[in-house]
């Protein structure tokens, strides 16, 4: 009589394969959800195109997102601001009519947040804009996007690498962002 663990391993192989496939499935499912099915470019109530505004017509970012250079939040332009141009410009397009509809009813536009940070992150636009960081560094080439999508992962590692590379004052102090 002889002894070896190989026959047993053979016997167990089907079960092990099933378990392994299941495990791989869990990982794949998790990542699939996180990457493929997470809406990084959600459908907005108005199909606003940054490509037309910031790209083709070269409207500066800070023209609409006026607060970015002096406030923690960049701010979405008010409907008022949109209408400032669109009373005159391209008033016949369907999307602009949608806008005009919001304006007439004085309803706010429920834009969906694309670049959303967790509640415990206190990011401030002001410091970054004033330090001369391009908007595109975090937001990606928005001026080429017809529909805004989240390009960068906006995870802590991204912030930290930049802070470390540029030796930001208090850049690695947790309290800089998490208050």
Partner 1 sequence: MANVDRREFLKLVGAGSVGVGAGYLLAESIKHPVEHLIPYSVPPEEFSPGIATWYNSVCGMCPAGCGISVRTREGRAKKIEGNPAHPVNQGRLCALGQAGLQTLYNPDRITAPMLLQGKRGNDAFVETTWKEGLANVSGRLGVPGVATVVLSQGVRGQLANLLELFTAELGSAELLHYDFAHPHTLYAANERLFGQQQLPYYDIANTRYLMSFGADFLNNWLSPVHHSLGFGHSRQGGDAQRLRFVQIEPKMSISGAAADEWVAARPGSEGVLALGIAHQILAGGRYSGSDADDWTAALADYSPELVAEQSGVAAATIVRLADEFAQAKPALAIGGGSAANNSNGTDTLVAVTALNYLVGNIGQAGGLIFNPDPVTGPSASSRRANYEVMRDLAEAAQQGVVDVLIVNNTNPLFTLPTAAGFKEALASIPLIVSLSSFMDETTAMADVILPSHTYLESWGDDVPQPGVGFSVAAVSQPVVAPLYNTRSTGDILLGLASNLGFRDAIPWTTMEECIKDGWREIHARGEPGSGDFDSFWHDVLQSGVWGEDVRQQQDATVSKEVIDNIGVAAPEFAGDVGDYPFVLHPFMSTSMYDGRGANLPWMQELPDPITSVVYGSWLEMNPATADKMGLQDGDLVQVASMQGSVEVPVVIFPAIMPDVVAMPIGQGHESLGRYARNRGANPIQILAPVTDPVSGALATGATRVSVVATGRRAPAVKTGGESRQLGRDIVRFTSTTSDATEHSAKLNSIPISVEPA
Partner 2 sequence: MSFMDRFVSGWRKHRQAATDDDFDYAWTMSIDLDRCTGCGACVTACQAENNIPLVGEKELAGGREMQWIRIERYWEGEYPNAKLSFIPMMCQHCDSAPCETVCPVSATYHNQDGLNTQIYNRCIGTRSCAVYCPYEVRFFNYYDHHWPAPLDQQLNPDVTVREKGVMEKCTFCIQRIRQAKDHAKDEGRRVADGEVQPACVQTCPSEALVFGDRKDPNSNVSKSINDPRAYHVLGELNTRPSVVYLKKVDADVV
Partner 3 sequence: MVSHAIGLFHDPESALHAAGQLKSAGFAQPEIMSPVPIHGVEEVLGPKKSVIKRFTFFGGIFGALGGFALAAGTAVMYLHPTGGRPIITIPPFLIISYEMTILCGILATVLGFLISARLPVFRERIYVPETAVDKFGVTVPCDSDEQFSDAERILEQAGAEEVRRLGDPS
The footprint of partner 3 (CB under 8 A) covers 1-6, 172
Does 31 bind partner 1 (CB under 8 A)? Our answer is: yes
Q: How far is the CB of 63 from partner 1 (least distance, A)?
A: 15
Q: How far apart are CA 23 and CA 20, in angstroms?
A: 5
* Alpha carbon distances (Å) from 63 to 39, 66, 124, 151, 178: 27, 6, 18, 22, 29
Q: What residues contact 80, with CB distance under 8 A and at least 6 apart?
A: 103
Which of partner 3, partner 1, partner 2, none has residue 95 at its interface (CB below 5 to 8 Å by kind)? Answer: none
d(CA 1, CA 167): 70
Question: How near is the Cβ of 43 to partner 1 at its closest, in Å?
Answer: 11
Give the separation between CA 140 and CA 134, rounded to whole angstroms.
9
47 binds, among partner 2, partner 1, partner 3, none (CB under 5 to 8 A by kind): none
Nearer to partner 1, 54 or 148 (CB): 148
Judged by CB, which is closer to partner 3: 4, or 105?
4
Residue appearing with tokens 């001026």: 143
178 binds partner 2 (CB under 8 A): yes
C-alpha span between 130 and 73 (Å, rounded): 13
- The 61-100 site mask, x for binding partner 2 (CB under 8 A), equals ----------------------------------------
Map residues 97-136 to x or -, x wherever contact with partner 2 holds by CB under 8 A.
Answer: ---------------------xxx-x-x-xx--x------
How far is residue 148 from each of residues 43, 52, 118, 126, 160, measured CA to CA in Å? 9, 12, 19, 22, 24
Contacts with partner 2, residue ranges (CB under 8 A): 118-120, 122, 124, 126-127, 130, 169-170, 173-176, 178-179
């Amino acid at each position: 009589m002889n002894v070896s663990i190989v026959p047993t391993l053979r016997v167990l192989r089907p079960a092990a394969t099933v378990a392994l496939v299941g495990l791989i499935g869990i990982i794949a499912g998790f990542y699939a959800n996180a990457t493929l099915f997470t809406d990084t470019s959600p459908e907005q109530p108005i199909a606003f195109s940054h490509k037309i505004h910031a790209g083709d017509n070269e409207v500066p970012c800070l023209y609409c997102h006026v607060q970015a250079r002096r406030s923690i939040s960049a701010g979405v332009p008010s409907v008022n601001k949109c209408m400032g141009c669109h009373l005159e410009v391209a008033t016949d397009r369907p999307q602009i009519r949608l806008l005009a509809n919001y304006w007439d009813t004085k309803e706010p536009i429920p834009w969906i947040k694309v670049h959303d940070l967790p509640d415990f992150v206190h990011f401030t636009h002001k410091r970054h804009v004033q330090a001369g960081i391009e908007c595109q560094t975090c937001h990606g080439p928005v001026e080429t996007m017809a529909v805004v999508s989240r390009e960068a992962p906006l995870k802590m590692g991204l912030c930290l690498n930049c802070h470390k590379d540029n030796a930001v004052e208090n850049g690695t102090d947790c309290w800089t962002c998490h208050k």
